[in-house]
């Protein structure tokens, strides 16, 4: 059933890439690359999630007591493993990563990381332009697998001081423990979800309402997953509030690390222009769907914090 849902989304994804993105001049992908990406995503999903699904279904069988808890533990272990190995084993399947070439920019960024007390092996540039003209930067991985990645489009759009400010923002997320916090919040939500499923597994009324035989684990998981989307929708404002709070905190960290907000504000303006961002979305829409504050909100907060 999950595979059928993914197949149903393919036409929408194709339209988003080859119609909407193409219309506004962002798409640089080809049909061959798009199809290859979808095949890789499917194979990776099956390879990683099928064994976990088998274990989870087995642990959730009625009569296993705290099986729902151990199912949650198994899922969390896999998620942490993915976070650790993704930069080394998964991301290179989709993009090429090359070290940032020697020069003023690399020296500035390495010096910035040292001032922040962050040990990094290197800064890498990703060929994001192979698929899109959108630009970004991210800090990924844990421990020795940690890496800082800049899109090649970003390097071409921003000046060295602006790139330094963007990198300082990403380092801010790391130094302020935002990734562990989000993992912990996600883990807490998953724990609550598994507990709820364990209750439904013991409810004959739940099975009878959907025409299934009581005690069947797989249908209960699929139905719970579909129903969870309705619940998650109403929790989105809380999740987005936390994400926006983290973005403001990382902005302030970057401004302190780089000696003021000017470079970061300049970089944010360029990124908003290049990515055709919406400066004034409806407040209700942004509360539900925006994980980042708007440009105007970020500028106001940065200027206020620098006074």
Which of 228, 197, 224, 200 has the alpha carbon at shortest distance from 214? 200
| Nearest-angstrom CA–CA distance, 242 and 254 | 18
Distance (Å, rounded) from C-alpha 210 to C-alpha 222?
12
Q: With b meaning 16 or more CB within 10 Å and e meaning fewer, what string describes 208-241?
A: eeeeeeeeebebbbebbeeeeeeeeeeeeeebbe
Look at residue 263 in the predicted model and tell me its pLDDT.
Answer: 93
Pairwise CA distance, residues 261 & 245, whole Å: 17
Which residues are CB-neighbours of 290 under 8 A, at least 6 positions away? 240, 244, 281
Determine contact, residues 118/88, Cβ cutoff 8 Å.
no
**DSSP-derived 3-state class of residue 253:** helix
pLDDT at 142: 65
Residue 306: partners with Cβ closer than 8 Å, 6 or more residues away = 255, 260, 261
Residues with catalytic roles: 170, 251
For 143, counting Cβ atoms within 10 Å of its Cβ (0-12 exposed, 13-18 middle, 19+ buried), the class is: exposed
Token pair 């409810």 in the structure block, residue: 203
The 8-class DSSP code of residue 132 comes to B
CA distance 47 to 34: 20
Q: What is the pLDDT of residue 216?
A: 77
Q: Do residues 68 and 59 lie in contact, with contact meaning Cβ atoms separated by under 8 Å?
A: yes
Kindly state the DSSP code that residue 128 receives in the 8-state scheme: G
d(CA 280, CA 297): 10
| Per-residue pLDDT tens listing for the chain (307 residues) | 555 666 778 888 999 999 989 998 899 999 999 999 999 988 888 888 888 888 888 888 766 678 889 989 988 888 888 888 888 888 899 999 999 888 888 888 888 888 888 877 778 899 999 999 988 888 776 666 677 888 999 888 899 999 999 999 989 998 899 988 988 998 998 898 888 888 888 788 878 777 777 777 877 777 777 788 888 888 889 999 999 999 999 999 999 999 999 999 999 999 998 888 888 999 889 888 999 999 999 999 999 987 6
Which of 257, 260, 190, 271 lies closest to 228, judged by CA? 190
Q: What is the pLDDT of residue 305?
A: 83
């Amino acid at each position: 059933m999950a595979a059928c849902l993914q197949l149903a989304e393919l036409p929408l994804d194709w339209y988003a890439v080859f119609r909407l993105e193409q219309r506004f001049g962002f798409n640089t992908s080809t049909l061959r690359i798009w199809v290859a990406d979808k095949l890789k995503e499917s194979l990776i999903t099956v390879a990683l999630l099928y064994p976990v699904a088998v274990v989870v279904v087995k642990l959730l069988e009625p009569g296993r007591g705290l099986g729902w808890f151990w199912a949650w533990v198994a899922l969390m272990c896999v998620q942490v493993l993915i976070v650790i190995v993704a930069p080394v084993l998964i991301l290179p399947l989709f993009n090429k990563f090359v070290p940032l070439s020697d020069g003023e920019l690399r020296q500035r960024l390495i010096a910035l990381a040292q001032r922040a007390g962050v040990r990094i092996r290197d800064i890498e540039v990703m060929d994001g332009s192979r698929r899109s003209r959108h630009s970004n930067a991210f800090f990924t991985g844990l421990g020795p697998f940690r890496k800082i990645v800049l899109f090649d489009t970003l390097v071409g759009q921003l000046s060295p001081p602006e790139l330094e400010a963007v990198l300082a923002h990403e380092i801010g997320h790391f130094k302020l423990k935002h990734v562990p916090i989000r993992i912990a919040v996600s883990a807490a939500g998953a724990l609550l979800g598994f507990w709820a499923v364990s209750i439904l597994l013991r409810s004959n009324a739940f099975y009878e309402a959907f025409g299934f035989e009581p005690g069947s684990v797989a249908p209960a998981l699929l139905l719970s997953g579909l129903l969870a989307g309705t619940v998650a929708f109403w929790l989105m404002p809380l999740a987005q509030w936390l994400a926006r709070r983290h973005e403001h905190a990382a902005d302030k960290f970057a401004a302190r690390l780089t000696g003021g907000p000017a470079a970061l504000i300049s970089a944010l303006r360029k990124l908003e222009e290049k990515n055709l961002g919406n400066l004034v979305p409806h407040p209700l829409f942004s509360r539900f769907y925006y994980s980042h504050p708007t440009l105007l909100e970020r500028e106001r907060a940065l200027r206020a914090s620098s006074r």
